[in-house]
């Protein structure tokens, strides 16, 4: 699907905001985790509601994955979803000062904690560049160790389509891998367009 | 009333609000020193704000998960975003007694805590404020809900199992009712045939005696023929003798009677087999000769077998076996019919081998065919009610499941050996005596 709801110029601006935002986010995440985090160049796309589960599954790849969702609220509004491959998040337990024995609740809490840090840093960074403030809901578990095609059910999605910004995270010499996907419903994209226009004008 | 609030007043208002809110509110700086401690926190922790202010949080609460919480606070200071703990993953941060000392439920207050960054002098986050919500009631309600759902699931599973059992039981009941009524019908017919066969037999015996006497008499008369003087009479006798072919009649008559006798013996045997097979008179456990049962069963289904297979018998000496004989015969019948139906007709007559044997406290009865054999899939599903590979009308798929249950009732077992393209061997094992336990 082509990105109909933002202009080419707005798309470029969003790409730039995302690039800068991720750079800053990487630095602050490293401060929290005490390790350098590799972030991919953000990918921007638009998908229809029915395509969202498949898009998430494609990111997660084959196999088992878990996902955490977190809402962001304010002028910019939507949900961020963080997808973890299998148990790769357990790898970060020590960095967030979890004990050695990770039981079920602890490893789920770890997923929420990591998501909260990543989402807060990345989306907070973007919001700041766009000179707007956003708040975050508490994160909650969307899917816990399920087949990647089962992360999200299409019939639960209320938006018609969504703008999707995707970033990959990894840490050198660690198995930890995850994807952060920022999803904005079609009816919230108008606010994003205004914010992007503002950003372009101020350049 | 003056609505323009005095700034001093509004500060006091806020302070009193924070103090009184029914939510735990506290704040720490980057070193963990407590800067705010409202009355909710004081009441539940037993440590007043005077005790707490200026003290290190972790020194005052050594039971806190220090490294983890420090990391969490640090992330709020660094990122300037909220952080959270949720009761369902981490039941509580502070070990507070719950507010149900009487009605009970959970020992500690369940808590959701949100950590908020506070920027007092502009840019940097200088304090992190914790807001602590009591989720005990929610947790108790959720526990109850979980229990209720689990109980529902258990009940649903149990019901599904019960329904499945009922279905099989009903099918088997239908099948065994069918078998029982076939047995009754057979026994009834056998009984009805018995009476005429009885008097035909006794009449035939008398007839046989009379015939012998008559033939004797005729022989004597024939010897006396030459002594007859009347030529006319002699010619008449000779013409009749020739016309009637009396020589042949004399020869044939005993044979006809002999054949009729044989026929009657066979009728009697069939009647006896039918009775034996159905055992309508004996539905209780009894000691029976399984070789005889197998023979009786073979006779009953002989018509199905004789054009398709030759039957080889290989019987061992068996002790009387405590069993429900009619039901075991049903098992043998199912096995024999299955064997016949499995034969490859394109190869001409098949062979069915019936063997029996005795080992320790067990006897076995074996039905072997050189038919098409079974695939792995069929072998696995063989005993399932309604599993059949036969065309509609030919098989209902109940034979083996009913057989299985009958053998089970005898505390026995059925062994299957099958090679696709070569044939199948079923061996039924039953104990000679049933243990005293009644089920
Ligand atoms: N001797 C055998 N050789 C090959 N296949 C067999 C043999 N006995 C049973 N089977 C397979 O097992 C299936 C189930 O047998 P079962 O006696 O329970 O049912 P059925 O013979 O199909 O029908 P029913 O006995 O009710 O008339 C058969 O359809 C057949 O595929
Ligand atoms: Mg059968």
CA distance A196 to A185: 16
| pLDDT over 70 (residue A3) | no
| pLDDT over 50 (residue B7) | yes
CA distance B143 to B122: 44
What digits encode the pLDDT tens for the residues A166-185? Answer: 999 998 888 888 999 999 98
Return the pLDDT at B439: 46
Q: Which pair of structure tokens corresponds to residue A130?
A: 């766009």
Q: Mean pLDDT, chain B, as a whole number?
A: 89
What digits encode the pLDDT tens for the residues A58-111? Answer: 888 888 999 999 999 998 999 999 999 887 888 888 888 898 778 888 999 999
Q: How many CB atoms lie within 10 A of CB A63?
A: 9
Q: Which residues face A48 on adjacent strands? A: A161
Distance from CA of B13 to the nearest CA of A (A): 26
Provide the whole-model pTM: 0.61
Mutate: best of B30, B71, B110, partner A, most A CBs <10 A: B71
Does the beta carbon of B336 lie inside 6 Å of ligand 1?
Answer: no
The whole-angstrom distance between residue B197's C-alpha and the CA centroid of its chain comes to: 46
Return the pLDDT at B322: 94
Per this entry, what is the length of chain A? 203
Looking at the CA of B368, which ligand is closest?
1
Does the beta carbon of B171 lie inside 6 Å of ligand 1?
Answer: no
Say which residues have a Cβ less than 8 Å from residue B213's Cβ, sequence separation at least 6. Answer: none
Return the pLDDT at B50: 95
What digits encode the pLDDT tens for the residues B100-112? Answer: 777 777 788 999 9
What digits encode the pLDDT tens for the residues B46-61? Answer: 999 999 999 999 999 9
Count of CA atoms in the C-beta half-sphere (13 A) of B192? 6
| pLDDT over 50 (residue A2) | no
Q: Which residues face B108 on adjacent strands? A: B97
Q: Which pair of structure tokens corresponds to residue B128?
A: 């992190």
Q: Which of A57-61, A157-161, B48-52, B133-137 has the lowest mean pLDDT?
A: A157-161
Does the beta carbon of B183 lie inside 6 Å of ligand 1?
Answer: no
Q: Give the distance (Å) from ligand 2 centre to CA of residue B387.
A: 10
Cβ proximity of B277 and B217 under 8 Å: no
CA distances from B225 to B244, B249, B256, B349 (A): 17, 18, 27, 58
CA distance A13 to A7: 10
∠ CA B13-B16-B22, nearest 5°, is 125
- The three-state secondary structure class of A143 is strand
Return the pLDDT at B274: 74
Return the pLDDT at B84: 95
Distance from CA of A194 to the nearest CA of B (A): 24
Return the pLDDT at B174: 75
Q: Which pair of structure tokens corresponds to residue B82?
A: 């909220």
Return the pLDDT at B205: 93
Q: Which of B71, B79, B83 sits opposite A28 (nearest CB)?
A: B79
Which residues on chain B are in Cβ contact (under 8 Å) with A108? 89
| pLDDT over 60 (residue B5) | no
| pLDDT over 70 (residue B235) | yes
Return the pLDDT at B1: 44
More confident site: A47 or B115: B115
Chain B residue with Cα closest to A26: B79
CA distance A121 to B75: 10
B397 φψ region: left (φ > 0), alpha (ψ -120 to 50), beta (else)? left
Q: Give the distance (Å) from ligand 1 centre to CA of residue B389.
A: 7
Q: Which residues face A38 on adjacent strands? A: A170
| pLDDT over 80 (residue B418) | yes
Mutate: best of A31, A35, A97, partner B, most B CBs <10 A: A97
Does the beta carbon of B338 lie inside 6 Å of ligand 1?
Answer: yes
Q: Whose Cα sits closest to atom 12 in ligand 1?
A: B382
Give the pairing type, strands A78-85 and A134-136.
unpaired
Does the beta carbon of B374 lie inside 6 Å of ligand 1?
Answer: yes
The whole-angstrom distance between residue B123's C-alpha and the CA centroid of its chain comes to: 72
Return the pLDDT at B278: 66
pLDDT tier at A1 (50, 70, 90 boundaries)?
very low
Q: Which CATH number is A8-201's, of 3.40.50.740, 1.10.620.20, 3.50.50.60, 3.40.1550.10?
A: 3.40.1550.10
Q: Mean pLDDT, chain A, as a whole number?
A: 88
Return the pLDDT at B168: 78
Q: Is B371 exposed, middle or buried (0-12, 13-18, 19+ CB in 10 A)?
A: buried
Q: Give the distance (Å) from ligand 2 centre to CA of residue B333.
A: 9
What digits encode the pLDDT tens for the residues B72-87? Answer: 999 999 989 999 999 9
CA distance B384 to B348: 31
Interval B385-409 mean pLDDT: 83
CA distance A112 to B72: 12
CA distance B264 to B286: 30
Does the beta carbon of B35 lie inside 6 Å of ligand 1?
Answer: no
Q: Which of B74, B80, B84 sits opposite A138 (nearest CB)?
A: B84
DSSP H or E segment with residue B116 = strand B111-118
CA distance A123 to A82: 12
Distance from CA of B85 to the nearest CA of A (A): 8
Question: What stretches of B157-306 adopt beta strand conformation (E)?
Answer: 286-288
Q: How many CB atoms lie within 10 A of CB A180?
A: 27
| pLDDT over 80 (residue B44) | yes
Interval B367-386 mean pLDDT: 90
Chain B residue with Cα closest to A138: B84
Looking at the CA of B401, which ligand is closest?
1
Say which residues have a Cβ less than 8 Å from residue B388's Cβ, sequence separation at least 6. Answer: B395, B396, B397
Does the beta carbon of B385 lie inside 6 Å of ligand 1?
Answer: no
Q: Give the distance (Å) from ligand 1 centre to CA of residue B387.
A: 8
Does the beta carbon of B383 lie inside 6 Å of ligand 1?
Answer: no
Cβ proximity of A173 and A82 under 8 Å: no
Return the pLDDT at B2: 47
Distance from CA of A88 to the nearest CA of B (A): 19
CB-CB under 8 Å, B86 with A98: no
Q: Which pair of structure tokens corresponds to residue B313?
A: 């018998």
Which residues on chain B are in Cβ contact (under 8 Å) with A109? 85-86, 89-90
Return the pLDDT at B410: 92
Which residues on chain B are in Cβ contact (under 8 Å) with A135? 82
Which residues on chain A are in Cβ contact (under 8 Å) with B132? none
Q: Which of A93-102, B310-319, B334-343 has the lowest mean pLDDT?
A: A93-102
ipTM of the complex: 0.87
Q: Give me the residue spans of the domains in chain A.
A: 8-201
CB-CB under 8 Å, B89 with A105: yes
């Amino acid at each position: 699907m082509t990105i109909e709801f933002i202009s080419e110029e707005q798309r470029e601006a969003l790409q730039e905001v995302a690039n800068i935002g991720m750079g800053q986010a990487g630095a602050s995440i490293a401060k929290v985790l005490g390790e350098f985090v590799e972030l991919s160049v953000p990918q921007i796309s638009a998908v229809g509601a029915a395509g969202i589960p498949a898009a998430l599954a494609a990111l997660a790849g084959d196999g088992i994955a878990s996902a955490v969702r977190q809402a962001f609220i304010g002028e910019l509004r939507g949900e961020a979803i963080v997808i973890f491959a299998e148990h790769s998040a357990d790898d970060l337990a020590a960095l967030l000062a979890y004990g050695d024995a990770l039981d079920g609740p602890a490893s789920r809490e770890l997923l929420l904690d990591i998501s909260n840090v990543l989402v807060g840093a990345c989306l907070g960074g973007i919001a700041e560049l766009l000179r707007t403030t956003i708040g975050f809901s508490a994160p909650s578990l969307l899917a816990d160790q399920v087949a990647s095609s089962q992360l999200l059910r299409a019939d639960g999605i209320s938006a018609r389509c969504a703008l999707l910004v995707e970033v990959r995270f990894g840490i050198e010499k660690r198995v930890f891998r995850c994807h952060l996907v920022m999803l904005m419903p079609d009816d919230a994209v108008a606010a994003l367009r205004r914010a992007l226009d503002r950003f372009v004008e101020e350049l | 009333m003056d609505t323009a609030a005095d700034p001093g007043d509004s500060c006091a208002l806020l302070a009193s609000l924070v103090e009184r809110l029914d939510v735990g509110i506290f704040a720490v700086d980057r070193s963990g020193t407590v800067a705010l401690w409202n009355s909710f926190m004081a009441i539940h922790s037993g440590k007043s704000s005077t005790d707490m202010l200026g003290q290190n949080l972790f020194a005052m609460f050594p039971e806190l998960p220090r490294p983890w919480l420090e990391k969490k606070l640090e992330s709020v200071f660094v990122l300037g975003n909220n952080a959270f703990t949720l009761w369902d993953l981490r039941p509580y941060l502070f070990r507070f007694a719950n507010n149900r000392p009487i009605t009970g439920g959970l020992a500690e207050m369940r808590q959701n805590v949100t950590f908020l960054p506070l920027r007092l002098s502009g840019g940097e986050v200088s304090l992190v404020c914790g807001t602590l919500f009591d989720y005990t009631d929610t947790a108790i309600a959720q526990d109850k809900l979980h229990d209720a759902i689990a109980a529902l699931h258990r009940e649903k599973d149990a019901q599904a199992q019960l329904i499945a059992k009922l279905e099989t039981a009903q099918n088997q009941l239908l099948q065994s009712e069918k078998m029982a009524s076939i047995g009754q019908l057979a026994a009834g017919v056998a009984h009805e045939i018995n009476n005429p066969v009885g008097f035909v037999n006794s009449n035939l015996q008398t007839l046989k005696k009379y015939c012998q006497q008559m033939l004797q008499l005729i022989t004597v008369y024939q010897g006396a023929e030459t002594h007859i003087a009347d030529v006319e009479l002699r010619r008449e006798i000779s013409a009749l003798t020739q016309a009637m072919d009396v020589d042949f009649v004399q020869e044939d008559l005993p044979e006809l009677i002999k054949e009729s006798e044989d026929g009657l013996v066979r009728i009697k045997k069939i009647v006896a087999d039918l009775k034996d097979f159905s055992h309508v008179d004996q539905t209780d456990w009894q000691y029976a000769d399984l070789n005889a049962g197998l023979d009786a069963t073979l006779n009953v289904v002989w018509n199905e077998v004789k054009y398709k297979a030759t039957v080889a018998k290989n019987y061992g000496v068996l002790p009387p076996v405590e069993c429900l004989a009619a039901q075991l015969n049903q098992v043998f019948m199912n096995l024999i019919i299955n064997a016949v139906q499995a034969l490859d007709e394109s190869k001409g007559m098949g062979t069915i081998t019936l063997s029996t044997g005795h080992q320790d406290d067990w006897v076995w009865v074996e039905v072997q065919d050189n038919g098409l054999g079974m695939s792995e899939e069929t072998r696995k599903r063989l005993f399932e009610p309604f599993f059949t590979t036969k065309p509609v009308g030919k098989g209902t798929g109940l034979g083996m499941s009913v057989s299985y249950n009958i053998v089970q009732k005898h505390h026995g077992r059925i062994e299957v050996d099958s090679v696709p393209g070569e044939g199948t061997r079923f061996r039924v094992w039953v104990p000679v005596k049933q243990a005293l336990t009644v089920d």
